[in-house]
Each structure stands twice: as C-alpha cells, then as structure tokens.
Structure 1
Amino acid sequence: MTNIKKLLLIDGSSIAYRAFFALYTQIDRFISPSGLHNNAIYAFHTMLRNVLATEQPTHVLVAFDAGKTTFRTEMYADYKGGRAKTPDEFREQLPFIKEMLAAQGIKQYELANFEADDIIGTLATLAENGDFDAITVVSGDRDLTQLTTEKTTVAITIKGVAELEIYTPAYLLEKLGLTTAQFIDLKALMGDKSDNIPGVTKIGEKTGIKLLLEYGSLQGIYDNIEQMKVSKMKENLINDREQAFLSKELATIDLTSPIAIGLEDTIYTGVDYDKLKKFYQEMGFNKFLEELEGATEKVVEAINFTVVEETVTDDMFDENQFFYLEILGEDYHRDSIIGFAWGDETGIYVSKNIALLKSFNFPKNTYDFKKNKVLLARHAIAYPVVEFDTMLAKYLYSTIENNKISTIAGLFGLDLPDDDVIYGKGVKRAVPFDEILFDHLARKIDVLVKTKAPLTDKLRENDQEKLLSDMELPLANVLAKMEIAGIKVSGGVLSEIGIENEKVIENLTAEIYELAGEVFNINSPKQLGVILFEKMGLPIIKKTKTGYSTAVDVLEQLAPQAPIVDKILKFRQISKIQSTYVTGLLGEIMADGKIHTRYIQDLTQTGRLSSVNPNLQNIPVRLAEGRKIRKAFIPENASSVLLSSDYSQIELRVLAHISGDEHLISAFNNGADIHTSTAMRVFGIEKAEDVTPNDRRNAKAVNFGVVYGISDFGLSNNLGISRKAAKNYIDTYFERYPDIKNYMGNTIREAKDKGFVETLYHRRRNLPDINARNYSVRSFAERTAINSPIQGSAADILKVAMINLDKNLTAGGFKTKMLLQVHDEIVLDVPDDELVAVKKLVKTTMEDAISLDVPLLVDENSGKTWYEAK
C-alpha cells in the first residue's frame, strides 16, 4: 500500500479565478487583519484541503499561466481576446495563494509561452508512461477532460469550487457520447467563447456531437464533406475548414511542453508548519490556525478494537456506550448494513455479523437513530429510543456545516478520514478490506465517545438540551415509524395519469407547432428563443450568455401578448409532472406496493423537515394535473381512509403571538378571516362583505410578503400593480399593525448584537452576515432574521404535535398510522371504525400542541385517496 504513487495536478489559474467568484457575494466578510481581500485564498485553500484529504497523493503540483502571450496567440492573435479585465480584488490575492501553496509544501510551476494546461498535460503524460498508479487533475476548465485515461481522472469544479464532477473516459462517453479524442474535435467544431476559439459558424455542442458520432472525427467529417446533403451547415463547414483545424490546434493541450522540472520535483512531503501558522495569522484564518496548532501536537495513533464474530458477552456491553451502523450509501431503505460498532473509552467492538443484533442490548447513545431504527426493522430487530444522538446534537448546535462524523471530529480537534477517503466516490465507491473497514468504524466510535461531552456543553450553553431530548429525539422515533410504514401508491393510477398527460402533451405540441408555423424542439431554450423573439417578434425581456432567456418569469410576462406562450408554459408544467411525478414515482414504488420516503431531519436551518427519495413535499397542488397525482396515494386496506389534518395559517398565528400586535391577535381571537381583516385595515374598507376576492388576494400577498421582507418592487410584481401603489400598501400595513413593525426592528437589532435569532423552542439560526458591509448580503440576513423565528417556531410546533399525536395514538390502542408530514399537514391511514375518534383526537392534539395568544386551528378532510382527503 505504501508503494502506491499518486500524482495530483491542479490548474492553479483556473481554480484561483473560480475560487474568487465562489465567495464573491461575501467578499466583504473575507478581509485579512491588514485589509487584504482573501475570499479567493480561503476558497482555494478549502478546496485544496478537501482534495488532499480525498486523494492522499504522494506527488503534487499546482500549475499557473505565465502570462497572456503564449504559442497559441502567435498562431491566432485573438486567442483569449475580449476577456473582461481581471478584478483588482482578485489580482491582489494571487501572490498570497502562491505563498499559501509554498507553506503547504506544494510545488508550483509556470512556463513562459505555455499555459497551465500544457504543464499539466505534459506531467500527466510522463506519469502515465512511468510507474505511477493514478493521476488526478483538478481544474475549473472542462477543456482538461481531454486528458482522461484509464489512469488519469479529471475533476472539474462545479458550484464554485465546493464540488467536483469526476471525468473518466467512461463518464465522458456516458455524458457526451464522445471519446477524449473526439472531445477535442468537438471544441474545434463549436469553438469556445471563453477562450475566443472561433470554431465553425453556427455549430453548437448538439450539432457537433451529432457530426462526430456520424463521422468519427473532425478529419472524418471533412473526408465525407462532399457526400453531405446541401445545407447551410455544410456551407459553413466548407467555408470554415481552415478555421476548424486552427481551432483544434488551439484547443489541444500540448503533452510535450519544454518543462524544466520532472516528476521527482513534485514529491509531496507535507506542510511547513511554521510558514503555514504565520500565513494563517496574517490572513486571520483563526479556525485553520486552531486546527493546525492541534495537528502539530497530535500523532495519529493506532486504535485498539476487538472484532466480534459470534457472541457478544456481558463484559462487552454497557448502556452508556455508543452504537453505530454503517451502510455504503445514503438510502437505508435499500442499502445493506456493511458493518457496525459499539463501545466507549474502555473498549471498542466491531462486527459484520448482523445476527448478533437480534439479541443485542443496545446502548443509549448513537449517531443517526432514525437510520438505525429503519435499517434494523428490515431485519425484524426492534431498536429502542436512545438518550443521545450525536448527529442531531451537532445539527442543533451548528447548521452551517454538514453533520458527518468527520466534520464533528474536526470541530473538536479530532482526526477522522472522510468516508470518501475510505470507500471512494461515485462508481469507485466500494466496501474495503475488513481491516480498513473495522479500523474506520472503530475510529468513528472513538469520535462519538469523545465529542458527547463538549456537544452537550454547547447545547447547555444555548439552552437547547430539551430541544434535543424532548423534540428531536422523540421526533426521530416518530419519523422512523412513518418511514417504515410507508404509503401505498397505485402504479395503475399513475400509469393512467401518465397516459392522459401524454395526450395533453401531444395536443399542446401540435398547437404550439401550428402557432409557430414550424416544427422545433420546444425543450430547447435556444430554438424557442429564435421562434419567440426573432420569428414572432415578441419583446426581448432578458438575455443570457447563450441567447434569449425563456425562463418562467419571462414567459409569464409574455403570455398575455401571444397565445403560444401560455401553451408553452402549460407544456412545461405537464412535462415536469410527467417526468418527475409520474415516471419518477413509479420507479420509487417498492416490492410491498408502497413508497418509503426518507425524512431529512438535520438539513434546514429553520428546523423544517425535508423529504427525499422521493420528495413527497413537492407534489404540485396548484395545477389540476399536479393535484391528480395524489389520486394514486391510497390507504393500505380497503376498510381504511386517508385523513389529512392541516394547520390553518400557522405562521401568521405565530407572528401574532411573537409580535404581540393587538390588531392581529384580536382578529384571530374573534375568528375573523385574517386576509379579509387585513384588507379592511390596509385598504380602508369598512365592512367585511365589501371586501372583494381581489382585495382579499392582495391582502394575503401583503400579509405573507411583508413578513418575509418583500420589497415594493417584489410586491408590485406579485400583484401586477405599480411600485408606488405597492409601497403605499406596505407603509399602510405598518401603520395599521405597528407592533409588527416594532417586532421586525427589534429582531434585527438583537440579531446584529447577538449574531443569531431563536424560535420559541430555542432553535437557533446563526446570521454571520447580519453586519456585512455589502447591502444585498446584509439585507438578506435581515430578512432571514425576521422570518426564521416565525417559520422555525411553526416547524417546531408541528414537530411537537407529531410527537404528542404518536403518544396519544399508542396510548389509545389505535391501529391508525401516521404516514406523511408535508409542510403544515399530517397524513394518516385510519381504519373506518376509528375515523370519528381519531379525527377528534388529531384535531385536539394538534390544536393543543402549544399555548399561544391566539388559537391554533386545524382543517381536516378524509377520503379513499390523498386527493379526496385534501
């Protein structure tokens, strides 16, 4: 294992530029003590640490461009011409990125007249032909994917530099249908605007790929050019032949550039602690400094553990230990257990024998209780509720980072490799040898044991201990039971809806073609833009880098001007429903005829639950075609119904309570329709019967919009009124509801002072940007400060209701099962003979979940499908 040679090559110029823009919106937060902008330095450093941890290379080099003039500009003077001026804030950071690399012990190199790509290509080729086992190239430029081979992997940054898309020859073939050689020819055909490579006129990616798939290569295209039918494309190919082959030369990375270094110069020996410490101090990177100082003091030691194969003896067990279950992926409804571990500071035990768990005395501490309970239920093993869950504790303490055990380890100065290091990523992910697996599981137990006390201290400091013990842990148990139960879905009904949708899509397609006067790809923004803005002459509202914007907001503005636009919007909506909610849901029905979604409990900063695989919280209900999807959701038995219980306007009721506004409180306590009441106060209408549906609609938009910090511009767009009228609505609203305005002002002031806001249950939302100098960043943080206590408290109330409802159903001996939680709604499967009693129980339990200054109200409906119950 120690003889493996792995080379990591990083495109420094590309990564640095992407790093700058990755954190550009927060640039005011990233200032060193000396006043230097350091957002690019920070993002580059973070990416570098992640890649080093994942790849664990033996050799590393970062290549930089030497300047704007290269052998390519000699071939084509306009190469990379027209690029925007490099921002000064970025330019000033480049020397310090190189200083950081030196402190990291990483070799860097640039070569006059050549680009970083050429240095990387040359070194990768040398490593390919040498005795290296693997080469990884990291860049923000997809051009480098031409370097992929069986040995060389190219990782391209996406979403700034936070994520990497891994290219192998197989992945390139899967993604584009091309080989690496054909990728270069594609660039020759389509050109590259960012590098100002000309390509062939009017040939884009889609056409280029089609040509290469048919003729094999650029040369193959021109060898067969005479046999092509007469077309504008053929004419462009003939006219631009010289330009195409020039473009290929420009796009091809030089694999034999005259570098003055060799692979022996790229050996990675690790960081220079003194230099790196000084650098962190100069940059004000205090978190990295703390980690570095901790790392200099510790040596990674072997960890002791016992492999248990057949019997768990009494001396191996203590109720205060931690228990941990491992799967390879994230979908515990389908993935298998690959190993488990338990233990404390006196001893750690690991095993792969699931049979041991059938008579296991489970400890009271764990990580991700819900996952464990569902996984063990698949093996008919009951898992009792625990007293401490590290994942949930970390989530409550800090929602900024992910809640992986490796992240938790880093927070408290402990060392634990990320799972991707042990198991690999993507198609390379696999279960390692037992000794590696067991060592990793033992280290996870060690981290869980060592971080319980400091995490508990953090929760105590934030007054959040009860939030864990009384809300999140009991809720995890409730959610596990819901996930295990699943909800029955009729594949036949979904298929029937799919057939109906296909007919609608077919009819809409024909109507759109007729109105356009030609056949085109409706799903192509480029082709659609040509039809709408060039052929039909509709006004251009917005442009993108690649042409005309055909986004939904643009089409909605155009819809009144042309019938075709309304049909296109409808086409998109039905197509989305068809692909995501008909085809998608059909693929999620498991062998028991049910869908078992996963509720993500540790994701949102407001405390709201998320649903994945599939997401059942996003089924569209505003469109009739979307609502029909709910017809496929049915009770488990013919003698049962689905009951939907939904809080009525819970966020506005929470607002009334938190703000103490007497007018809002009075309206709710008197049972008034809140939107009608607001319309009367804001629009000066004396009698409720005089409020029109349009008045109520406008008042509803004001009620929700103002609370979420909507501007006069936003409200004017929502209501289709002038900005002046919208501003008048907002000003009048605050005049008539003064305590709401006071609440908003006080909340922002407190947030600026404390750096966070809280819900009624002490769920905390940290706001690091609340004092930012950048107006847009600061304004967003202020809106978040206002909204979070309202939205978060509403989410917490629903969680309390679910916990109490589960207790009451169990205590009453009911067979009713809670199945789904969707925003403010709970869906239950209720036997017919329990319906009357359960409806009453659910309504009472939900409305009594908390005592506010205004009553909570619940709307209930039942039926033989979720559609009927809603």
Structure 2
Amino acid sequence: MADKKRLFLLDAYALIFRGYYAFIKNPRINSKGFNTSAIMGFTNSLFDVIRREKPDHLAVCFDKDGSEARTEMFSDYKANRDETPEPIQLSIPIIQDILRAMHIPVIECAGMEADDIIGTLAKQAEKQNYQVFMVTPDKDFAQLVSENIFMYRPARMGNGIEIWGIPEVQKKFEVERPEQVIDFLGMMGDSVDNIPGLPGVGEKTAKKFLKQFGSMEGLLENTDQLKGKMKEKVIENAELGRLSKKLARIFTDCDVQFHEEDFELSMPDGQKVQEIFDELEFRRLKDQFIKLFSGEDDQPQTQVTNSPSAKKAAATVAGAGQFSLFDSDGGQIERTDSRKSLADTPHVYQSIETGLAKKLFLEKLMLQESVCFDTETTSINPLEAELVGIAFSWDSGKGFYLPFPEDQKEAQKLIEELRPFFENKTIEKIGQNLKYDIKVLDKYKVKLKGPLFDTMIAHYLINPDMRHNMDVLAETYLNYSPQPITELIGKKGKNQGTMRDVELSKQTEYAVEDADITFQLKNFFGKELEEAETKSLFEDIEIPLVRVLADMELEGIKLDEVYLKSLSEALSSDIQQLEKNIYQHAGEEFLISSPKQLGIILFEKMALVNKPKKTKT
C-alpha cells in the first residue's frame, strides 16, 4: 500500500453548502457587508485536508448546469430544491479564484454533476494504481467505494473525520457490495435529489429487500414472494423503481481525463492568494495559509475516527509524490502585506517625564475638546490590574505616554494630577472597551465623567457580525497592522510577562499607537453611526449602559454563604437518597451518569421498552 500515490477529489458544492450553513447562526460578514461564510467554510475544509493528508494530487470538482442526462430521464429531478442562496452564488467565482491561485485544478463539465466527475476521475486514477479519497459528506458516493477508492467525510459537530472503505459501507447500508448502494437509493428514493423510489419503501425495508433479493432487479423478478399492499405497490411502481436506480447511479464515463501531472499539488501563487484573503479580510486564514505552505503549521490536526479503512489509509505514505509541502527545497510563501505599521508610518509618540514636561502636558491636555486615552496595566482583570502607564492622543499620528511608578502611593499621587481631566464634564473621552478603563480607574478612586465614545461599542452597532477587537478594526478600516502585544510580553502562558517588564521606549510606542489608532477609528465611526442612523442609540442607550455595567461589576453580588452552604448540604443529601432509591429499584449499583450502563439497566434488565431504538451512543 505504501507505494501508491494518493488523489483527493473534493466535492465543491457539498463542502460549500456545508460551510455556509455551519455559520448560519453567526454569518461571517466583512466590513463591506459581504457574507464570506461559504468561502471561509470551504477554505477551512480544504486547508484541513492539505494539513492532515499532505496529498500528492488534489482537485476540486464543481457542478455545472446540473445533470442533463438525469433531467431528460426525469424532469422533476432535483426540482424540489430551493434556489441556491445568493451569498453562495456570489462566493463560487471567488472560491474558484482562490483555487486557481493555489494551482489546484478546478474541474467542471457542462451538463454533469460533481458526483459524476469525481466518479469518472476516481475510477481512472484507480486503474493507474492510485489510492483515491472522495472528500464529501454525501452518502451517495458510497456506491463508488472499492479496494482503493474511499469516502473521506470531513469532521463536523465535534465528530472526527470518517473514512469509509468497503467494511464501513457494508456496515452502514447492510450490503455485501458497495454497488448495492445504488439499489438501496433506488428503492428508498432520495428526498434531497427528488428521486421517487418505491412507494412505501424506507431505509429498513430497502435493507431487508437487498438481503433477500440482492438488487432492484432481483426484487422486481420475485414480487411473488411479497405480500399484501407492499406487493401491490412494488408491482405497480416497477418502472418507477428502475428509473430511480438509474437516477441514483453515479456516472463514471464523463468527458474528463485524469492526467496525473495536471493534478499534482504544487507551490501556490502566494501573493495572489494573500491578495484575495486581504480583500475578503481573512486574517486567520491568511496566517494559516502562510504557515501551511512554509512547513510551519502548528494547527491541531482534526481527529480521524478509528476504523479499518482509516487504518488502511494511514498506512500509505503521506506526500509520497514528486511534491511535498514540507520539502526543504519546495520554497516558502513570503508574507505580502499592503498594510502600514509602526515601522513605515510617520508618527511622533513621546513619553512624559516629571517636572516641566509633565506640567506643560497637563495644561495642554485640559485645553482639548476630545481626547483618546488607553491604560496599560499589569493584568487583563481590571479588579487586579495596576496602572503601568496611560497613553493619550488627540491628533492623528501623535500622542503622549505617561508612565506610572510601581509604588502604589506614588501612582496615586500621579493619578490625582490627572483627576481634573478624567472628571471633567465637557472633555470627550475616547477609548476601546471603556468599561475596562472605568473599572481600572475606580481602583484609584477616579470617576470617568463627561461624554464618552467607545469604538468597540460603536463598531458593534455599525457591523454586529464582525469581530470588534482593535487589531481587526485597524486592519479593516485604517489598513494598518498594530504591533502585537506578544512582541513585548510573549505569548499567553505561565511565562508571559507584563508591561512592567517592558522598557519605557517600547511601552511608549505600543501604548500611544493604541491610543492613536483608537482616536482615528473614532473619527471614522462617528460618521458611520450617523449614516446608519444609530447615533442616538449609541449615545442614549449604549454609552450610559457602559457606565451601569461597570458599576454593577464593581459592586458585585452579595451572597448568603451560610444559606448556600446549607442548600448544598440539603441537595447532596437528596441526591444520595435518590441514588439509593435508584439502586434499590435496579437491584444493583451502577454509574448513573453513564448512558451505556443506564441503558442496560433500563432496557435490558428492567425491559421498560420492548424494542428500544438504539443510537450511536
């Protein structure tokens, strides 16, 4: 098995629809109002296959104009389907652009479905000693499974990837041969594709007929062995059954050819892919793409369910072809970024020293009408955080940073000098997530008064479906990439430092950049709120609510610990008594929280139901 090359054929529309509906409750809408759910979902599936399998050869197959042959046979074929959602229609050309930029073949054939293209290519590749994986959740593909052709069902809803070979198809459909899946689908029909099937024949009856007669033809030739209404229905609808089998069969003779050199996975056009991802605002996918094709990918791999075919597939050497994503000579994807940053943007960020400089700064601060400020602290928990410094900005590209001493008495003296600003009722204070800053300042007995503008809240009203953190907002609206905090204090974990560990010059650049960006975002979002007619909602409800929520979180909730402890003891006593009663009725002790053990007690020992319906769990 180890000498076989591997071909992965992706069922485009099945994965696109799946990706789109995976985000249906929380659609991925970018700043332009474009729904990117289908593109994101499909690309995630594609990257997962490449990351896990490192395939030698890969292609993506699309439907084009439906199935002419099946429609000619049955005019109502797939006639029950709703029109493809507009976001998916608009996403298809973009997905194809991504694939072409990645040098992945886009295979489509007029009048043919992707099922038929995949079936044709799979059979051709098998003859050329390939192991083929059909990447699709569609059960219809089970009919194509053979010794070297597998279904590769992507992970979903916490379940791992499923690889179906002959044993899995035999078990799933209770057939002897995968080809009998065609008969199975023909007998029971398919509501998704509007294949009628035999009236009155469902999944259980179809499996029963296949065990007894072996095929649709075998059933129709032996109707004398049937009884009652079922006999009448099968005889009356024999032609419908034959037609349904024809509709369910996947064609393997499409006008496509498998030339292995055209399907080799090769190094993509990194610049073009990144340009598309930038346009779509796919920051994480862009990072994944660069790491994936540079051999630096650290994403956790999706689990594969343990099955005979999964073990067989794992025995094949991944990336055994001419190209491997991780060959040292395979080249690397270089990051291309049109966004500006600290390094190439003119700016004047100053740290304020004690004495005359601080005196002049405070005087100038009090003359402003609108100021953005950003607190730098020792913790993301405002109730534990200590001030390390505060940045201020009231002009784009400019700002000031006032460092705070570690000694809390000295820090309190410094904040007292800023109290007139924070408690001024006419100067507008701008911030990103001001609720955090309000709670931090409260530790120093300072109240934030006057008009407030929170860019995070404003953006939520402008585009609620997007993420609202400052990095995303800066990249999206200002075409600017802020300095990551990890460059200063390291990644999250026990070894991560705090801003106190960072030298003053770096603190200044980082902190004032945040204040400067937030000030610029405010100018942008202010106009957006007016255009969206949500300014009054923002000023009259959302901003006052920020203060209320901050006060509530600072005040906390008083708990009656004595009562809660007595309630806990009473509930524990009740639970113990219930457990004793359960064991008494069951006649033995068992793990009540185990569905498997509970099922044995209820349905096997106590026989509460004669024929319980079993599920996977």
Q: TM-score normalised by the shorter chain: which range applies?
A: 0.5 to 0.7
Deviation at 1:2, TM superposition (A): 9.1
Determine if contact 2:133/2:149 at 8 Å carries over to the other structure: yes
Is 2:31 the partner of 1:149? Answer: no
Distance 1:243 1:868 in 2: 57
Query: What amino acid does structure 2 have at the position aligned with 1:175?
Result: K
Query: What amino acid does structure 2 have at the position aligned with 1:258?
Result: D
Query: What amino acid does structure 1 have at the position aligned with 2:261?
Result: E
Distance 1:155 1:225 in 2: 37
Is 2:564 the partner of 1:854? Answer: no
Distance 2:263 2:184 in 1: 32
3-state SS in 2 of match to 1:180:
coil
Determine if contact 1:147/1:180 at 8 Å carries over to the other structure: yes
Is 2:462 the partner of 1:462? Answer: no
Distance 1:137 1:768 in 2: 45
3-state SS in 2 of match to 1:26:
coil
Percent identity over the alignment is 29
Deviation at 1:171, TM superposition (A): 1.2
Counterparts of residues 280-429 of structure 1 (less than 5 Å): 280-293=277-290, 300=295, 414-416=296-298, 418=300, 425-427=306-308, 428=310
The match for 1:39 among 37, 42, 48 is: 37
Determine if contact 1:752/1:770 at 8 Å carries over to the other structure: no
Match of 1:22 in 2: 22
Determine if contact 1:70/1:115 at 8 Å carries over to the other structure: no
Deviations 1:731-756, CA, capped at 9 Å, x for gaps: xxxxxxxxxxxxxxxxxx9989779x
Query: What amino acid does structure 1 have at the position aligned with 2:7?
Result: L
The match for 2:200 among 193, 199, 202 is: 202
Match of 2:275 in 1: 278
Give the direction of change, closer, same or farther, for the CA distance of 1:219–1:275 in structure 2 (3 Å limit). Answer: same
3-state SS in 2 of match to 1:93:
helix
Deviation at 1:79, TM superposition (A): 1.1
Distance 1:153 1:7 in 2: 10
Give the direction of change, closer, same or farther, for the CA distance of 1:852–1:194 in structure 2 (3 Å limit). Answer: same
3-state SS in 1 of match to 2:134:
strand
Give the direction of change, closer, same or farther, for the CA distance of 1:224–1:869 in structure 2 (3 Å limit). Answer: closer
3-state SS in 1 of match to 2:84:
coil
Deviation at 1:143, TM superposition (A): 0.8
Match of 1:50 in 2: 48
Match of 1:601 in 2: none
Match of 2:191 in 1: 193
Match of 2:170 in 1: 173
Deviations 1:611-652, CA, capped at 9 Å, x for gaps: xxxxxxxxxxxxxxxxxxxxxxxxxxxxxxxxxxxxxxxxxx
Match of 2:12 in 1: 12
Match of 2:264 in 1: 267
Give the direction of change, closer, same or farther, for the CA distance of 1:236–1:772 in structure 2 (3 Å limit). Answer: farther
Match of 2:577 in 1: 867
Distance 1:465 1:127 in 2: 63
The match for 2:460 among 771, 778, 788 is: 771
Deviation at 1:4, TM superposition (A): 4.4
Determine if contact 1:26/1:777 at 8 Å carries over to the other structure: no
Match of 1:240 in 2: 237
Gaps of 5+ in 1: 301-413, 437-457, 468-748, 759-766, 779-849
Distance 1:775 1:126 in 2: 49
Name the one with the larger helix percent.
1
Distance 1:57 1:431 in 2: 12
Q: TM-score, normalised to structure 1's length? A: 0.38
Give the direction of change, closer, same or farther, for the CA distance of 1:100–1:160 in structure 2 (3 Å limit). Answer: farther
Distance 1:44 1:426 in 2: 25
Deviations 1:534-589, CA, capped at 9 Å, x for gaps: xxxxxxxxxxxxxxxxxxxxxxxxxxxxxxxxxxxxxxxxxxxxxxxxxxxxxxxx
Distance 2:230 2:164 in 1: 30
3-state SS in 2 of match to 1:206:
helix
Query: What amino acid does structure 1 have at the position aligned with 2:238?
Result: R
Distance 1:165 1:156 in 2: 5
Give the direction of change, closer, same or farther, for the CA distance of 1:80–1:852 in structure 2 (3 Å limit). Answer: same
Query: What amino acid does structure 2 have at the position aligned with 1:855?
Result: E
Match of 1:211 in 2: 209
Give the direction of change, closer, same or farther, for the CA distance of 1:464–1:868 in structure 2 (3 Å limit). Answer: farther
Deviation at 1:156, TM superposition (A): 3.2
Deviations 1:283-337, CA, capped at 9 Å, x for gaps: 10012223445567x5x4xxxxxxxxxxxxxxxxxxxxxxxxxxxxxxxxxxxxx
Give the direction of change, closer, same or farther, for the CA distance of 1:432–1:192 in structure 2 (3 Å limit). Answer: closer
Distance 1:431 1:188 in 2: 30
Counterparts of residues 303-702 of structure 1 (less than 5 Å): 414-416=296-298, 418=300, 425-427=306-308, 428=310, 461-463=379-381
Distance 2:186 2:255 in 1: 25
Deviation at 1:94, TM superposition (A): 0.8
Larger Rg: 2
Deviation at 1:415, TM superposition (A): 3.2
The match for 1:105 among 99, 103, 106 is: 103
Match of 1:221 in 2: 219
Give the direction of change, closer, same or farther, for the CA distance of 1:104–1:163 in structure 2 (3 Å limit). Answer: farther
Deviation at 1:772, TM superposition (A): 7.4
Determine if contact 1:34/1:282 at 8 Å carries over to the other structure: no
Determine if contact 1:8/1:60 at 8 Å carries over to the other structure: yes
Give the direction of change, closer, same or farther, for the CA distance of 1:124–1:769 in structure 2 (3 Å limit). Answer: farther
Deviation at 1:777, TM superposition (A): 12
Deviations 1:409-429, CA, capped at 9 Å, x for gaps: xxxxx53474568x9854445
Distance 1:275 1:194 in 2: 37
Gaps of 5+ in 2: 319-375, 386-430, 441-455, 468-555, 581-617
Query: What amino acid does structure 2 have at the position aligned with 1:866?
Result: Q
Deviation at 1:273, TM superposition (A): 0.6
Give the direction of change, closer, same or farther, for the CA distance of 1:774–1:218 in structure 2 (3 Å limit). Answer: farther
3-state SS in 1 of match to 2:233:
helix
Query: What amino acid does structure 2 have at the position aligned with 1:182?
Result: Q
Distance 2:377 2:243 in 1: 63
Determine if contact 1:148/1:169 at 8 Å carries over to the other structure: yes
Determine if contact 1:863/1:869 at 8 Å carries over to the other structure: no
Give the direction of change, closer, same or farther, for the CA distance of 1:2–1:102 in structure 2 (3 Å limit). Answer: farther
Match of 1:253 in 2: 250
Determine if contact 1:19/1:40 at 8 Å carries over to the other structure: yes
Give the direction of change, closer, same or farther, for the CA distance of 1:770–1:176 in structure 2 (3 Å limit). Answer: farther
Query: What amino acid does structure 1 have at the position aligned with 2:49?
Result: V
Determine if contact 2:163/2:305 at 8 Å carries over to the other structure: no
3-state SS in 2 of match to 1:25:
coil
Determine if contact 1:79/1:196 at 8 Å carries over to the other structure: yes
Distance 1:198 1:235 in 2: 17
Q: Which has the higher contact order (CA 8 A, sep 6+)?
A: 2
3-state SS in 1 of match to 2:16:
helix
Deviation at 1:99, TM superposition (A): 0.9
Query: What amino acid does structure 1 have at the position aligned with 2:29?
Result: F
Give the direction of change, closer, same or farther, for the CA distance of 1:777–1:463 in structure 2 (3 Å limit). Answer: closer
Distance 2:281 2:102 in 1: 17
Determine if contact 2:51/2:292 at 8 Å carries over to the other structure: no
Give the direction of change, closer, same or farther, for the CA distance of 1:419–1:750 in structure 2 (3 Å limit). Answer: closer
Query: What amino acid does structure 2 have at the position aligned with 1:204?
Result: G
Query: What amino acid does structure 2 have at the position aligned with 1:125?
Result: K
Deviating 4+ runs (over 6 angstroms): 430-433, 464-467, 749-755, 767-770, 772-778, 862-865
Counterparts of residues 70-109 of structure 1 (less than 5 Å): 70-109=68-107
Query: What amino acid does structure 2 have at the position aligned with 1:246?
Result: L
Deviations 1:190-240, CA, capped at 9 Å, x for gaps: 1111111111112111111111112111121122112323x1111111111
Deviations 1:668-710, CA, capped at 9 Å, x for gaps: xxxxxxxxxxxxxxxxxxxxxxxxxxxxxxxxxxxxxxxxxxx
Distance 2:143 2:106 in 1: 22
Deviation at 1:280, TM superposition (A): 0.9
Give the direction of change, closer, same or farther, for the CA distance of 1:752–1:245 in structure 2 (3 Å limit). Answer: farther
Give the direction of change, closer, same or farther, for the CA distance of 1:110–1:219 in structure 2 (3 Å limit). Answer: same
Give the direction of change, closer, same or farther, for the CA distance of 1:15–1:187 in structure 2 (3 Å limit). Answer: same
